[in-house]
Amino acid sequence: MKVRIGWAGKTFLKAVVGSLIDGTISAEINPNHGSISITPYSDRYGGPFLGVGRVDFTGLTPQTRYTYTIRSGNEPPVTGRFITAPATTNTRCAFIVSTCDSNTARTKHRPFKYIRALQEFYNASDTPFAMLHIDDVNYVDTNVVVTAGFPTQPLATQSMCESKYYALGWAQWLGLFPDNPKWSGDADRQWCYQNVPAHMTVGDHGFAGNFRRGPSVVGGADYWVDDVAADGKSWTAAQIEAAALPEVRKWISDIGAPIYRAGELYSGFEFGSLRAFCTDMEMHCTPWDGTSTANPCYGAQQIADFFEWMDVSSHPFKLMTHESGVSQAGQSWYERYTTEADAWKSTYLPKANLNGSSGHLFHAYGDNHHRHVIEFTDPVFWAFSTGVLQDAQPVGQNLHKKVFGWGGVYRWGEGAITSTGDNPIAGFWLFDLFPSTASSAERIEARYINGSNGLTIYGPVQMVAGQGDNKWSAVNKHKIG
């Protein structure tokens, strides 16, 4: 049995339970208040038995440390600890942002070691700590990585067509297969699954979204429908979506942050002084035809919901997550869907709650396999590329095209990457929110953490509440805490 906890809100925690052995789930939580709801195991898409159940802890108290235990049949129980989200703004809390956790085999450099250290550090002072993962979570069109000959020979891949046998994807992701060392052999990964509250946004492999969007500048041939036809027959985009989308919807609603609008996959949540809106381009984006287009990428309803959720003065810091970039790096929003992006910009620009003294907006996005920071000047906002969580490697050339449709400054960048093996500098962003004091206003700090040694590569930079537009400024480097 394996457990993956999801988003810990102010009054709830969600968890997914997976097992290859049939059993009855039970759970307990300490302090013992609120209520526990259990959804029994159910089969998923045939193949070998895989039970996927769910546990909901509700009626909890904000910013409170809890310990839970989940049991299933005669299997060893799983115990974890977490802290619920703050009840108010102006409260210390922290979270990381990562992306692109692919199926490449791992041998060393495991960033989960440092994610675990961060969780233990923050929890020691009862500081809520969580993880946002933008982009690929559970690959529908994933490939099996063939390691024979590596490192003297390039890694090869073999398609699995997990859109048909989706249970296999769940089992692998949960770490139920002992012969997959990346998932089951990384003790820190499994520990983080059990102890770090997380929200996973839908990504371009969520249900083969790149098939919907069309050719990818970055993706290449592995993004095409025929390449995932492991059973020897071609699958259309519609067939893949029909097989996988119900599971993606269940995953997002089972343990993710609250869905903003019923029937959609985008979400909105509060975390101390931060308000976040996690976008979904999978169900709204029309295929890209290779040129700038007026077709939608996020859609009018989603953008309207974004402004409704974010254009408030109650939270000084606002985070918008993108599955893709806002610059020409990966699946760009502006260069590919110019009309919609310009309309968004013109609406956003005059809003003081998003671009002025009443609020500050920044962006984090994944899927471009390139670590960088861009400061856009018209309007003023910053975009943080989350790079990769662990499974890629720098290459000699820089694939980032410095084309900024809104004008911008390339503040920091470190190589382009490709999924070819161990990445010694894989990492993630840490955002740390600090309450006001007698001598300073609320602020948020950001730094990029090296996944191989836990050291800061970029930053820290900080944004102070109430100080003009969305400017970030450098602060003296210091250790976390």
Q: What pLDDT, on the 0 to 100 scale, is given for residue 52?
A: 79
Q: Is the pLDDT of residue 5 over 90?
A: yes
CB atoms under 10 Å from CB of 477, counted, come to: 10
Please enumerate in sequence order all residues whose Cβ is within 8 A of that of 276, keeping only pairs 6 or more positions apart, or say none: 132, 257, 268, 269, 270, 318, 319, 320, 321
- Looking at per-residue confidence, does 475 or 227 come out higher? 475
Q: Is the pLDDT of residue 223 over 60?
A: no
- Looking at per-residue confidence, does 389 or 379 come out higher? 379
Q: What pLDDT, on the 0 to 100 scale, is given for residue 282?
A: 73
Which residues does residue 319 pair with via DSSP β-bridges, in sequence order?
276, 362
Q: Is 61 exposed, middle or buried (0-12, 13-18, 19+ CB in 10 A)?
A: middle
Mean pLDDT of the region 1-8: 94
Cβ–Cβ under 8 Å, residues 407 and 377 = yes
Using DSSP, state whether 208 is helix, strand or coil.
coil
Share of the chain above pLDDT 70, in %: 67
Long-range contacts of 440-448 (CB under 8 A, 24+ apart): 440/464, 441/465, 441/466, 441/467, 442/89, 442/90, 442/273, 442/316, 442/317, 442/466, 444/273, 444/274, 444/317, 445/475, 446/384, 446/472, 448/371, 448/387, 448/412
Q: What pLDDT, on the 0 to 100 scale, is given for residue 204?
A: 55
Q: What pLDDT, on the 0 to 100 scale, is given for residue 208?
A: 44
Q: What pLDDT, on the 0 to 100 scale, is given for residue 166?
A: 55
- Looking at per-residue confidence, does 236 or 196 come out higher? 196
380-385 and 359-365 strand pairing: parallel
- Looking at per-residue confidence, does 30 or 294 come out higher? 30
Q: What pLDDT, on the 0 to 100 scale, is given for residue 74?
A: 93
Label residues 68-94 b or e (16+ Cβ within 10 Å = b): bebbbeeeeebebbbbbbbeebbbbbb
- Looking at per-residue confidence, does 127 or 391 come out higher? 127
Cβ–Cβ under 8 Å, residues 87 and 63 = yes
Determine which of 148-157, 196-205, 401-410 has the lowest per-residue pLDDT on average: 148-157
Cβ–Cβ under 8 Å, residues 8 and 83 = yes
- Looking at per-residue confidence, does 186 or 354 come out higher? 354
Tell me the pLDDT of the chain averaged across its residues.
Answer: 78
Share of the chain above pLDDT 90, in %: 41
Mean pLDDT of the region 213-224: 40
Q: Is the pLDDT of residue 103 over 90?
A: no
Mean pLDDT of the region 90-107: 75
Give me the numbers of helices (H) and strands (E) for the chain, helices first please. 9, 25
Q: What pLDDT, on the 0 to 100 scale, is given for residue 435?
A: 97
Q: What pLDDT, on the 0 to 100 scale, is given for residue 211?
A: 47
Q: Distance (Å, rounded) from C-alpha 3 to C-alpha 19? A: 9
- Looking at per-residue confidence, does 253 or 53 come out higher? 53
Structural domains present in the chain: 85-474 (3.60.21.70)
Q: Distance (Å, rounded) from C-alpha 138 to C-alpha 169? A: 6
Determine which of 44-58, 363-377, 393-407, 427-441 has the lowest per-residue pLDDT on average: 393-407
Q: Distance (Å, rounded) from C-alpha 82 to C-alpha 138? A: 23
Q: Is the pLDDT of residue 198 over 80?
A: yes
Q: Is the pLDDT of residue 49 over 80?
A: no
Q: What pLDDT, on the 0 to 100 scale, is given for residue 72?
A: 95
Q: What pLDDT, on the 0 to 100 scale, is given for residue 330?
A: 56
Whether pTM > 0.75 for this model: the answer is yes
Determine which of 32-36, 85-89, 392-396 has the lowest per-residue pLDDT on average: 392-396
Q: What pLDDT, on the 0 to 100 scale, is given for residue 399?
A: 44
Alpha helices in 278-393 (DSSP H): 300-310, 338-348, 352-355
Q: Is the pLDDT of residue 111 over 90?
A: no
